[in-house]
Structure 1
Amino acid sequence: MENAQRTTLIALAGQPNMGKSTLFNLLTGLNQHVGNWAGKTVERREGSLTHDGQRFTLVDLPGTYSLTANSAEERIARDFILHEQPDVVIAVVNAANLERSLYLLAELVSLPAPVVVALNMMDVARQENILVEPEVLEAALGLPVIPMTATRAEGVRELFAAVQETLAGRRGLVARLPEIREDHRESLRVVLEAVQGYVPAPYPTAWAATKLLEGDEEITQQMRALLPAERWERVHQELMAHEDAFLAVATGRYEWIGRLVRAAVVRPRVGQIGLTERLDRWAAHPFWGLVILAAILGGVFWMTFQIGAPLQEWLDTQIIGRVSGWLAAALVSAPLWVQGLVLDGVMGGVGTVVTFLPILVIFFAVLGLLEDVGYMARAAYVMDRFMHLMGMHGKSFLPLFLGFGCNVPAVMGARVADSRAAQLLTILLAPLVPCTARLGVLAFLAPAFFGAAAAWVSWGLVMLSLGVLVLVGVVMSRTVFRGQRSAFVMEMPLYHIPNLRTIGLLVWQRSLSFLEKAGTTILVFSVVVWALAALPGGDLENSWLAGLGRWFEPVGLWMGLDWRLTVALLASFFAKENSIATLGVLFGSAEDAGLASTLAGIYSPASGLAFLTVSLLFIPCAATVAVIRQESGSWHWTLFSVALTLAISLAVGAGVYALAVWGGL
């Protein structure tokens, strides 16, 4: 209990794309954990560190543009500050885009927690020829302002020195708060007088009165329930007489921001073009932007086969192969069922899946790099026209793009869509994006079936998947969702040098998560598959698994798939990597030629192409299905999603197989 009392609680607050997560990762490193806020699907990140002998707990609040309770993120951020009462709030702002950054700060300074301003991205400001004077900004704000470049770890020590001085009360600054526009100050005084003594803890009275004028629904409901009838009537009459009060509040904040910026920021000369604008002439161009996006996807596959494939082969032969050989020698006198369980069940399944790791690391690193450098918003922008064909806007491209990493966050990211129809459509389309697990299966088998052409085949299959996604989206938007459209409004962050530490931490966390899944879920499933393949008499052809596979085999034959490949597809429902784990169990782990080469020797390229096609489009994994149910709030839409992907994968797989056979593969 004594240690807990010495722990200082710090909240990290900031708008999206301010570098808040970079700072959080820099400070906490591996001493962090990720979950969800109680009762919410919004991610909660918490970490710890020790500085100068003092322990700190850092909570990374959701990125939000304001603290008005219009979204779950905004409620979480302000409720944490008000109810958990952190010792200090570090407000991360962008030195290269100070006007936008300071609006959230204008609300934070009205809350009771002390605030320290982390003036981040100073390097980006210099790159854009913007001069920000931290000392002037500190004097104008009345808050500690620490210039930083989190991507280079510059200013971190100074930031914590300012935090400790603030905690000790040595900074000696008094925050200058924004005021409501002058013509509504009397109205604020009337409301403030009416609610005096009735505002519940821990809400500051002046803050609650301002929120009433803003029309904050949550505070309005609370105060209506707490105020005596005559006082509420006075407040209600004042609000009705000044319905534009929310504009007066916002105008006061923007005037406050304007004074700060005029005092502390020197802009580049008129006509001077910054790096971001020069790069966006290509990256955000209607045609060249698409070419660049396609080239990036192609580059990922090139890297996978040029770098990932040799590493995968080395891991398979030098690590997994040697471990399997050592286990085979160690178990030579053990019962046959023990040898089968360990060599075929565990090593044949989990061992094969572990060799995916180099491929997944490449995908994780590229996605992290694109996000950290600021390119993701440009990808959404250039895809806006295509998204409109499906009744959505470019913002929905972001969760779909996340699907290349994992379909689970892609489905959860559908919340960025502005309408219920667009959210549902994004949720239904997200499973059609090939995730890293599916891409790992593709990268594992494509070289065996297609040799030097594997990269082109893989790129073509991914383009086919995305083409199917667009076609399905167009059809559904013009039938089920009636082609509803909405405007595309999105902030384009400035380009900046990526933080290799942040990207490395992201790769580490996701790789560790993959290995944990390999050691738990996939391990259990591999053992179950081995048991079904061995029982009842040890003969694979007469096993329970063979019986199950032959029951579904007539459907698989449309695509040139026998019962083994059909069972592998069914196994992918639990985890996409299970398809390879299942094949590893069925064909054994001790094959000298390796699993991929063994499959290529048994099945034709046409069957291999059909299997890969269906694998990319098949029903989503169980975790994704669970999230679809959670985000859609309906079993109807969940079952519709499963049925839709099943029908599409079988139809496209059968078509690809027929064309491949016709073409002589």
Structure 2
Amino acid sequence: MTSNESVLRIALAGQPNVGKSTIFNALTGLNQHVGNWPGKTVERKEGAILFRGRRIEIVDLPGAYGLTASSEEERIARDYIIKNRLDGVILIANAAAIDRNLYLLAELLALPVPVTLGLNMMDVAAAEGVDIMPVVLEANLGLPVTPVTAVADVGVSDLLSSAVAQADDRVNSRPARPQLSADLQRCVNRIRKQIDKHTPRPYDAEWVALKLLEGDAEIVALVREWLPEPDWRQVEAILATKEDAALEIVGGRYLWVDRLVKSAVRRAPRGAASLTERIDWLVLHPIAGMAILLLVLGLTFTLTFVVAWPLQRLLETRVILPLRDLAATSLSSAPPALSHFIADAVLGGAGLVLTFLPLLLVFYAIFGFLEDTGYLARIAYLTDRFMQRIGLHGKSFLPFCMGFGCNVPAIMGARVIESPAGRLLTILLAPLVPCSARFAVLAFLAPVFFGANALWVSMGLVMLNIAVLAVLGAILSLTLFRNERVSFVMELPLYHAPNPRTIGLFTWGHSWSFLRRASSMILAVSTGVWLLAYFPHGALETSWLAQLGHMLEPVGRLLGLDWRLTVALMTSFVAKENAIATLGVIYGAEGGSLASALAHSVTIPAGLSFLVTTMLFIPCAATVSAIRQETASWTWTLFSVGMLLLVAVIGGALAYHAALWFLA
């Protein structure tokens, strides 16, 4: 029995794209918390439910192909399983590709924690002609095996029930683990005897010995810290006798997986191409595939402007403006500073940014849909040829895809790049990917400046960012990075039907994260801007903000920007949404809708210049901090900031003067 019969802690493990998040969402619903792992930017999901009178705490571990600590996700998953007193681990496997998923099971079984196997996507497996016999697999493994179709909520409750029963009966759990050869087992025993008394809890000495034979760099470093030097030398001597141990261990695990698959899996004879193959013939075609990608981007912008932008304008005109009028009326007898603060800083600044919510909901819903169907991985494959031309490969596109949501995880996601030069180049280029905050600014301002042409201007500006990314990448790879080439290998998941619940929770989780930020950091910046705009005399034109803006005016004049737009650009360094918040504070002093005020006071060339500069401008403070953390170098961080600042100024100036010439 577990140490606490009323509470169980169970972790979900699995490779990427196996439907783990769908099962987590089906189990926990809205009773979940999404944050980051301590000291990491990898997403952490936890939830708690009552199941048959017991509290079950569920943790969704990062997707990992193994437990060899070759990536941040694998280190987090492994450390969590080892260092927390888990009552069980549920391994989610893709039933349609079970042979590639069972290797992780082989590694999990080496850890002292009960394991339950969930075979997800049974519907996809059947469509692909894969027939799995769970009863046979369960008998051969000696642990519970549950078939699941998470998108239809079939088998999810049974899976949790099996995991709970396995946790309660962990003393009698005897899973069939991969066996080592007699010679290799003797080496493990010798190493274990040498390290046993020095291995701290919660590490298991036999598991540590196995990892030393595998050459796991993290475990080797830990053992060197634990052991006195004479004992470490003896361990090194044992390891030296089995230099091919890692290959033997990995090979043994694959043979174990092969025997399991042969006994419990039957595949229909290959005939016509599968659904995934037929779709990929078109989606991955060099020409048709790129046309489809452009179409997807176009549909994203179309939905944003047709659905989200009218809702955003409705929130501004029907909610924010009436609230500002109400605040001014209600606080008419209060000190003028308080009335202006509530109306201009809180509602005109941070409140206006909250109207971005419809834009973000549409964006994240589309992003979640593309990821859940398996198309997002195809984008990485499709763009590999383009990436190769700028010294990168398709794997770099995965961080770039994350950059459309936020540049911070894009910077952190560069850890998947094995080459140090490729990783650094990816980090330097990632801030050029338009994040959701810049999309929101673009979606708000483009219709104001360009009316019916907003869609085409917006698509052109995104293409401009991608073009600048390509040009800078080519220049850097031919100079500082010597055009280093790296091969690209990735697994493309099978297509499957999207799960509305998963997409909905993904959309709301990320949008709620934005709302939390808007309620703190953006409000703080809006307050700071308002203080500068109100004092010392309560008039905008004589305020400290106006004085600062006039000092920056010579730079802004190069771009065709007045002092108001220049100040808004500067405050966007804290967070891109602050550009709108700042304009809301500044123009709030004049009353009325911000969109109307901007439409009447900003010319088309100046509006184009502002948007071009915003899209290319130095990233927000959080992204700069992430660059510093990942490069561990102020030199590269300042180089990134300086490079993007120069590019933004040149781009804005060229856009302004080109628009003047075109409209002349």
TM-score, scaled relative to structure 2: 0.94
**Quick one: distance in 1 between partners of 2:507 and 2:590?**
31
What is the number of residues matched between the two proteins? 660
CA spacing shift, 1:231–1:585, aligned 2, 3 Å: closer
Q: CA deviation at 1:170?
A: 9.2
Residue in 2 aligned with 1:484? 484
Note if contact 2:533-2:545 (Cα within 8 Å) is conserved in structure 1. yes
**Quick one: distance in 1 between partners of 2:500 and 2:484?**
41
- Quick one: which amino acid aligns to residue 196 of structure 1? K
- Quick one: which amino acid aligns to residue 195 of structure 1? R
CA spacing shift, 1:583–1:132, aligned 2, 3 Å: same
- Quick one: which amino acid aligns to residue 258 of structure 2? G
Q: CA deviation at 1:268?
A: 2.6
Residue in 2 aligned with 1:185? 182
Correspondence list, 1:226-241, <5 A: 236-237=236-237, 239-241=239-241
Residue in 1 aligned with 2:632? 633
Determine if the alignment matches structure 1 residue 611 to structure 2 residue 610.
yes
Residue in 1 aligned with 2:318? 318
Note if contact 2:188-2:206 (Cα within 8 Å) is conserved in structure 1. no
CA spacing shift, 1:365–1:190, aligned 2, 3 Å: closer
Q: CA deviation at 1:318?
A: 2.0
**Quick one: distance in 2 between partners of 1:232 and 1:541?**
72
Note if contact 1:7-1:57 (Cα within 8 Å) is conserved in structure 2. yes
Note if contact 1:16-1:65 (Cα within 8 Å) is conserved in structure 2. yes
Unmatched segments (≥5 aa) in structure 1 = none
- Quick one: which amino acid aligns to residue 362 of structure 2? I
Larger displacement relative to structure 2 (167-176 or 313-322): 167-176
C-alpha offsets along residues 315-335 of structure 1, whole Å, 9 cap, x if unaligned? 122222222232232123333
**Quick one: distance in 1 between partners of 2:225 and 2:596?**
72
Q: CA deviation at 1:637?
A: 1.2
**Quick one: distance in 2 between partners of 1:295 and 1:360?**
20
**Quick one: distance in 2 between partners of 1:8 and 1:568?**
51
Residue in 2 aligned with 1:656? 655
- Quick one: which amino acid aligns to residue 271 of structure 2? G
**Quick one: distance in 2 between partners of 1:224 and 1:509?**
42
**Quick one: distance in 2 between partners of 1:533 and 1:226?**
59
Larger displacement relative to structure 2 (331-340 or 146-155): 331-340
C-alpha offsets along residues 518-570 of structure 1, whole Å, 9 cap, x if unaligned? 22222222122122112111222221111100111111111211101101101
CA spacing shift, 1:657–1:56, aligned 2, 3 Å: same
Q: CA deviation at 1:374?
A: 0.9
**Quick one: distance in 2 between partners of 1:513 and 1:227?**
44
Correspondence list, 1:376-455, <5 A: 376-455=376-455
Correspondence list, 1:54-453, <5 A: 54-169=54-169, 174-180=174-180, 184-193=181-190, 195-196=192-193, 198-199=195-196, 200=199, 201-220=201-220, 236-237=236-237, 239-453=239-453
Note if contact 1:188-1:210 (Cα within 8 Å) is conserved in structure 2. no
Correspondence list, 1:546-565, <5 A: 546-565=546-565
**Quick one: distance in 1 between partners of 2:401 and 2:161?**
40
**Quick one: distance in 2 between partners of 1:580 and 1:221?**
49
Note if contact 2:584-2:594 (Cα within 8 Å) is conserved in structure 1. yes
Q: CA deviation at 1:470?
A: 0.8
C-alpha offsets along residues 20-56 of structure 1, whole Å, 9 cap, x if unaligned? 2222233223333344444444443322222111112
Larger displacement relative to structure 2 (446-455 or 164-173): 164-173
**Quick one: distance in 1 between partners of 2:576 and 2:47?**
31
CA spacing shift, 1:249–1:566, aligned 2, 3 Å: same
Q: CA deviation at 1:662?
A: 0.4
- Quick one: which amino acid aligns to residue 272 of structure 2? Q
Larger displacement relative to structure 2 (98-107 or 32-41): 32-41
Q: CA deviation at 1:395?
A: 0.5
**Quick one: distance in 2 between partners of 1:238 and 1:335?**
80
Instruction: Indicate the SS of the match to 1:179.
Output: coil
**Quick one: distance in 2 between partners of 1:413 and 1:198?**
35
Instruction: Indicate the SS of the match to 2:212.
Output: helix
Q: CA deviation at 1:229?
A: 8.9
**Quick one: distance in 2 between partners of 1:652 and 1:468?**
10
- Quick one: which amino acid aligns to residue 474 of structure 1? A
Residue in 1 aligned with 2:646? 647
Instruction: Indicate the SS of the match to 1:619.
Output: coil
CA spacing shift, 1:262–1:590, aligned 2, 3 Å: farther
CA spacing shift, 1:347–1:232, aligned 2, 3 Å: closer
Note if contact 1:195-1:231 (Cα within 8 Å) is conserved in structure 2. no
- Quick one: which amino acid aligns to residue 421 of structure 1? A
Larger displacement relative to structure 2 (566-575 or 512-521): 512-521
Note if contact 2:35-2:43 (Cα within 8 Å) is conserved in structure 1. yes
**Quick one: distance in 2 between partners of 1:98 and 1:438?**
41
Note if contact 1:162-1:171 (Cα within 8 Å) is conserved in structure 2. no
Note if contact 1:348-1:589 (Cα within 8 Å) is conserved in structure 2. no
RMSD between superposed Cα atoms in Å: 2.3
**Quick one: distance in 2 between partners of 1:562 and 1:470?**
31
Note if contact 1:549-1:566 (Cα within 8 Å) is conserved in structure 2. yes
Moved over 6 A (4+): 2-5, 170-173, 224-234
Note if contact 1:589-1:595 (Cα within 8 Å) is conserved in structure 2. no
Larger displacement relative to structure 2 (227-236 or 539-548): 227-236
